[in-house]
A = this chain, B = another copy of it.
């Protein structure tokens, strides 16, 4: 087997075996985690490999053993803010198993996506994870026997397991929190009605209101855009039609920022007069708000981790089926509970900040601190 680079002094399995004092076959089995041998032997081989900076040729392994320990990660979101944390979680879970991840940004172009899938299959990836920016079902990938898991999206044909955040539960969680803090006349301002996520969050909100015996009707939900501009405009509409409003649950943090802007312009105190909660727990938006914004966190890194787990299970011969929803959490801050979770507290290991959150302590989505 030609070992490219061995001429340039790269260590071979022969060198590792010699240093460890074992046969080439034993060294190979030890490094591949195969075969029965004493732990001491395996450790000695591993130490020799480390000492020699031995890097097994994965291409030779791929041709011989069939597995490439590489996975394709396809996104339609241009690595936008929804798929990034999903991908981070997946990459983290796979990397721990020494599985490398090919990133493929389809830019919402079906032809580009087809070319990527062909290229990934040509590379004999062990499997694929497909992420998106919406939970809306999308056409499934055709990959033959190569397993596919959907994360933050799902297949129209339902032919692969999918992992998505529980938007319905997230809406319920926010509404219950507002109700628990004494609010009674709660409005809901959200994104376009064509988004499944917007409809699910609204339904969760309405069901929590009904459970508490509070008045609210689907007709009261203000569907619009995922933007601050819409938040500004809709808050005017809401206060015009329901001047007694004492809380607003918003379908995104950006909408909530716009709502807070309008409330300030109208001279209403947040949270004194009107509490505001958002959705996404997106750090630059929630910590930049004044007061800092209470928000529903979709735990997107966990969505990615669980998707990676499904893929590993499929590779191990135990494919999952159906759609798995990951419960949301709530990060409580000053926009609903005075004095809560404004200042970043202790740095977390990821470089973000732990936000003090009385109801459910939760780090905000990490964000690079600057240029």
| Interface residues, chain A, with chain B CB atoms under 8 Å away | 1-2, 4-5, 8, 10, 53, 55-60, 62-64, 66, 68, 70, 73, 77-84, 87-88, 91-92, 95, 98, 100-105, 107-108, 116, 118-124, 133-135, 144-145, 167, 191-192, 195, 197-198, 225-229, 232, 251-252, 254, 257-258, 261, 279-280, 284-285, 287-290, 298, 349-351, 366-371
Report A226 CB to chain B, min CB distance, Å.
3
Q: Is the beta-carbon distance between B118 and A73 smaller than 8 angstroms?
A: no
Q: Is the beta-carbon distance between B368 and A227 smaller than 8 angstroms?
A: no
Number of identical protomers? 2
Q: Given that A66-B4, A118-B55 are contacting pairs, would A134 and B370 also be in contact in the complex, using a CB cutoff of 8 Å?
A: yes
Interface centre among A83, A119, A120, A225 (most CB of B within 10 A): A119
Measured CB to CB, the nearest residue on chain B to A103 is: B103
Report A26 CB to chain B, min CB distance, Å.
20
Q: Given that A78-B368, A371-B252 are contacting pairs, would A119 and B135 also be in contact in the complex, using a CB cutoff of 8 Å?
A: no
Contact of A87 among B53, B103, B197, B289 (CB under 8 A): B103
Q: Is the beta-carbon distance between B58 and A284 smaller than 8 angstroms?
A: no
Q: Given that A87-B103, A88-B105, A121-B55 are contacting pairs, would A371 and B254 also be in contact in the complex, using a CB cutoff of 8 Å?
A: no
Q: Given that A59-B124, A122-B57, A122-B58 are contacting pairs, would A226 and B351 also be in contact in the complex, using a CB cutoff of 8 Å?
A: no
17 pairs, A vs B, C-beta closer than 8 Å? A2-B63, A55-B119, A55-B121, A79-B79, A79-B88, A81-B367, A83-B368, A88-B105, A102-B102, A133-B370, A197-B371, A198-B371, A228-B288, A229-B287, A284-B284, A284-B285, A298-B371
Report A39 CB to chain B, min CB distance, Å.
21
Chain B contacts for A279, CB-based, 8 A? 371
Contact of A287 among B10, B122, B227, B251 (CB under 8 A): B227
Chain B contacts for A8, CB-based, 8 A? 144-145
Contact of A371 among B105, B134, B367 (CB under 8 A): B134
Q: Is the beta-carbon distance between A370 and B192 smaller than 8 angstroms?
A: yes
Measured CB to CB, the nearest residue on chain B to A132 is: B368
Q: Which 6 A-B pairs have the closest CB atoms?
A: A226-B370, A80-B368, A55-B122, A228-B288, A103-B103, A197-B371
Chain B contacts for A83, CB-based, 8 A? 368
Give bound CA distance, A167 to B55, whole Å. Answer: 39
Report A268 CB to chain B, min CB distance, Å.
15
Q: Given that A63-B1, A370-B192 are contacting pairs, would A123 and B78 also be in contact in the complex, using a CB cutoff of 8 Å?
A: no
Give bound CA distance, A63 to B58, whole Å. Answer: 10
Q: Given that A4-B124, A59-B63 are contacting pairs, would A135 and B80 also be in contact in the complex, using a CB cutoff of 8 Å?
A: no
Q: Is the beta-carbon distance between A108 and B367 smaller than 8 angstroms?
A: no
Chain B contacts for A144, CB-based, 8 A? 8, 10
Chain B contacts for A116, CB-based, 8 A? 95
Interface centre among A1, A77, A351 (most CB of B within 10 A): A351
Given contact pairs A59-B59, A100-B104, a sample of 18 additional A-B residue pairs in the complex whose CB atoms are under 8 Å apart: A2-B63, A57-B124, A63-B63, A79-B88, A80-B368, A83-B368, A87-B103, A100-B102, A102-B102, A103-B103, A134-B371, A135-B371, A195-B370, A226-B371, A228-B287, A254-B284, A257-B288, A284-B285
Q: Is the beta-carbon distance between A368 and B77 smaller than 8 angstroms?
A: yes
Interface centre among A8, A88, A198, A251 (most CB of B within 10 A): A88
Report A341 CB to chain B, min CB distance, Å.
14
Give bound CA distance, A226 to B288, whole Å. Answer: 10
Give bound CA distance, A95 to B103, whole Å. Answer: 10
Q: Given that A78-B88, A78-B351 are contacting pairs, would A232 and B290 also be in contact in the complex, using a CB cutoff of 8 Å?
A: yes
